[in-house]
Structure 1
Amino acid sequence: MTPVRRGQWQTAADVLTQVARRPGITRAEVARTLRLSTGSATEVTARLRDVQLLTEAPAPSQGRGRPTTVLQAHPEGPVVLALDLRQSSWRSAVVALDGSLQDPQYKRHRSRRAQAVLNTLRRAVEQTREQYGDRLQLVSLAVPGSVRDNHLMQAPTLEWIELDLAQVTADVDVPLLAGNDATLSGVAEARTGAAAGAGTAVHLIVEVGIGGTLLIDGVPAQGASGAGGEYGHIPFGDRSRPCPCGARGCWDLEIDGRALARHLKQPTPDDPVAYAEEVLQRTDRAARSAITRVVTALGHGIAGLVNAHDPDVVTVGGLAIPLRAAAEDTFQEAYESGLMTFHRGSPPPVLAATHQLDGPLRGAAALALDQLTSEPAIAAWVAQR
């Protein structure tokens, strides 16, 4: 095995970062991006192959010309288990260094009690450790709530509060990286989705309430304690209306299935997402009026965030996409009328998210791979070989 010396870890980390963020990249493309000589790129990738971090495979044929290869994760290299916890279900995938999602799983909760759900996730982690052994280096968990230092501080849609998420990995001695699902969706969009290449982007996702994040060069601005991006709890709504989070007048209460039900004078639905999808299929006057009010609240709120953050682009996912499509003119008028005058001549585009349901999972994987492709992580992996 060829050793990777300390002075070479930075270049090795840079190469692995390119492989993680640009699936299917070639050695020549890595060399051009990192301004490496052909010889240096060959040497570094050979060393990474020796320590089971990278391999090369033939690129898809493109007709005549010299055949080339693409850089891929080594089949015996480190992996991440990405988990995405939702209100009624959870998803998982094993992620290799090239960002590929393997062995995807989808399961509904048998119970929504916090401890029952966390026990289920812990068993999934244990099973993955049994299958992959010490190749499993990190577990990355997306949750629909505010997270601080791997503690869930508050998840209003789940009615959970103050939970230590580290118990999910406690039995296998694998580090946990936990984050808000909307924030992680934004990471996915900024890295490989609709906001890729944007210096400053705002990402929003509507499911039960609305969450999101501000991204600078693909990195989420998470605030002093890691709980930034709780856009749904900005008081863009009716200040007389209490929110489950403890505040009043939250935007959350104006833009989802709960708001539609309120406008239609119906009880709060058990499943606000499914309820919203049903209302969006209706063509009666009452349903159209309710949709118009929700879409107006959505457009006005996005304008407020544009005024605050001045992004290059806004990406939206979840119910925001069909809601906007159901009343496009209403959305555009609300969005543009809420902008400061100097933004109106060239307002930031509001684009549909690329990854949709995969967003939180891919974002969780992306931040985990940032850690696995760091110099200390490479050094630790080499020490294990």
Structure 2
Amino acid sequence: MTPVRRGQWQTASDVLMRVSRQPGITRAAVARELRLSTSSATEVTARLRDVRLLTEAPAPSQGRGRPTTVLRAHPKGPVALGLDLRQGSWRSAVVALDGSFVEQQSRRHRSRRSQVVLSNLQKEVERAHRQYGARLRVVSLAAPGTIRDNRLMQAPTLDWAELDLETVTARTGIPLLAGNDATLSGVAEARTGAAAGAGTALHLIVEVGLGGTLIIDGVPAQGASGAGGEYGHVPFGDRTRFCPCGARGCWDLDIDGRALARHLKEAAPDDPYAYAEAVLRRTDRAAARAVAKVVTALGTGIAGLVNAHDPDVVTLGGLAIPLRAAAETSFEQAYLAGLMTFHRSTPPPVLSATHQPDGPLRGAAALALDHLTSEPSIATWAASQ
């Protein structure tokens, strides 16, 4: 094959990016968005078909006019493996270039020891590598903790200290892209979910503790070291309480199952997420009062973040959705009362996330697709065909 020149695959990259972010997009729509002539769009899609990146299928009929085609991932093209690590389980999905999940797996942790969990993820990577061979180009991992340069700096909800996550792919040599689960969930909402089209979006997810991200023009604000978005460790809570992260008064401690147990004067739960789900199913007054207190803390904190960031929209994922629904009035009162006066006339809407419960996995897939659709990745793949 002719050596690849710098910039040779730029338009192809633009096309693939739209295919990955807009499943089912037609060739005509791609041409319109990229301002390509019909002949140019035909030429670039033909090149992508020749190197097994795209295939085309007839689009659904829309009446009269020249028929167009839907762009889809080539059945023999590159794929990514997305991994979603949670407190009690992990999930995986093989992701094609058009964002479709080719297959999904889900497993409960038999042990929460870091060595055991990472070994199981490593085995899943190796299984996918045996099945897909050179087609598997990248692994993307969403993890519930602070991530910096593929290292898990701390994960208080798992009680893990600093770990090198690249052990997951070490035996295969496949590149790893690791990110915080809440951040990646926010990326998914900004790309194809409830915050799609928003210039500035704040995403928050409650599971065990709270995480989130500020998305500006589709890109998360990562901070100086990549650890931005640790909203659960903002000191919105009781300053007499110590958090497993090492700080005092973290918001985390006021908005999940641990807070519900404290309000109900019950023992701290081993699984705060499952405990919160159980409390939400209860109909007694004590449970309702506990939920209202937690929801008030949630609404007040969100107002504080809105005052700080001025987003167009706020999206909520995880337990934040059923918690809010269980005490809607408490949430609205706390949210509005916490806003600065000028925000109250038109407060940013607070919407439920679209990608439930797949937000972190969808975000990990988005991160991987950004890698697969980059010009260097396309050039490397094309040179191997």
Q: Which residue of 2 aligns with 1:294?
A: 294
State the distance in 2 between where 1:372 and 1:257 align. Answer: 38
State the distance in 2 between where 1:230 and 1:250 align. Answer: 10
1:19-76 residue CA offsets vs partner (Å, 9 max, x unmatched): 0100000110001001111111111111111111111012234566544310011111
Q: SS of the residue aligned with 1:105?
A: strand
Q: Which residue of 2 aligns with 1:167?
A: 167
Q: How far off its partner does 1:383 sit?
A: 1.7
Q: Which residue of 2 aligns with 1:200?
A: 200
Q: How far off its partner does 1:276 sit?
A: 0.8
Q: Which residue of 1 aligns with 2:274?
A: 274
Tell me whether 1:87 sits opposite 2:87 in the alignment: yes
Q: SS of the residue aligned with 1:177?
A: strand
State the distance in 2 between where 1:7 and 1:330 align. Answer: 55
State the distance in 2 between where 1:48 and 1:319 align. Answer: 42
What RMSD over aligned residues (CA atoms) do the two structures have, in Å? 1.2
Q: Which residue of 2 aligns with 1:327?
A: 327
Distance of aligned partners of 1:142 and 1:160 in 2 relative to their CA distance in 1, 3 Å threshold:
same
State the distance in 1 between where 2:27 and 2:285 align. Answer: 59
State the distance in 1 between where 2:45 and 2:129 align. Answer: 28
Residue 159 of structure 1 aligns to which amino acid in structure 2? D
Whether contact under 8 Å (1:140, 1:176) holds in the other structure is yes
State the distance in 2 between where 1:85 and 1:369 align. Answer: 19
Q: Which residue of 2 aligns with 1:374?
A: 374
State the distance in 1 between where 2:199 and 2:355 align. Answer: 19
Distance of aligned partners of 1:196 and 1:241 in 2 relative to their CA distance in 1, 3 Å threshold:
same
Unaligned runs of 5+ in 1: none
Whether contact under 8 Å (2:280, 2:323) holds in the other structure is yes
What are the within-5 Å matches in structure 2 for residues 113-192 of structure 1? 113-192=113-192
Q: How far off its partner does 1:6 sit?
A: 3.4
Whether contact under 8 Å (2:79, 2:96) holds in the other structure is yes
Question: How many residues in Structure 1 have an aligned counterpart in Structure 2?
Answer: 385
Q: Which residue of 1 aligns with 2:71?
A: 71
Q: Structure 2-normalised TM-score?
A: 0.98
State the distance in 1 between where 2:306 and 2:146 align. Answer: 22
Q: Which residue of 1 aligns with 2:341?
A: 341
Whether contact under 8 Å (1:146, 1:180) holds in the other structure is yes
Q: How far off its partner does 1:215 sit?
A: 0.3
Whether contact under 8 Å (2:3, 2:383) holds in the other structure is no
Q: Structure 1-normalised TM-score?
A: 0.98
Residue 8 of structure 1 aligns to which amino acid in structure 2? Q
Q: SS of the residue aligned with 1:115?
A: helix
Whether contact under 8 Å (2:4, 2:383) holds in the other structure is no
Q: How far off its partner does 1:7 sit?
A: 3.5
Q: Which residue of 2 aligns with 1:216?
A: 216
State the distance in 1 between where 2:86 and 2:241 align. Answer: 25
State the distance in 2 between where 1:76 and 1:9 align. Answer: 19
Q: Which residue of 2 aligns with 1:353?
A: 353
State the distance in 1 between where 2:87 and 2:63 align. Answer: 48
Q: Which residue of 2 aligns with 1:313?
A: 313
Identity over aligned pairs, percent: 79
Whether contact under 8 Å (2:188, 2:360) holds in the other structure is yes
Q: How far off its partner does 1:256 sit?
A: 0.4
Residue 294 of structure 2 aligns to which amino acid in structure 1? V
State the distance in 1 between where 2:66 and 2:10 align. Answer: 31
Whether contact under 8 Å (1:316, 1:351) holds in the other structure is yes
Q: SS of the residue aligned with 1:6?
A: coil
Q: SS of the residue aligned with 2:210?
A: strand
What are the within-5 Å matches in structure 2 for residues 210-249 of structure 1? 210-249=210-249
What are the within-5 Å matches in structure 2 for residues 32-47 of structure 1? 32-47=32-47
Residue 147 of structure 1 aligns to which amino acid in structure 2? I
State the distance in 1 between where 2:60 and 2:187 align. Answer: 28
State the distance in 1 between where 2:336 and 2:189 align. Answer: 23
Residue 371 of structure 1 aligns to which amino acid in structure 2? H
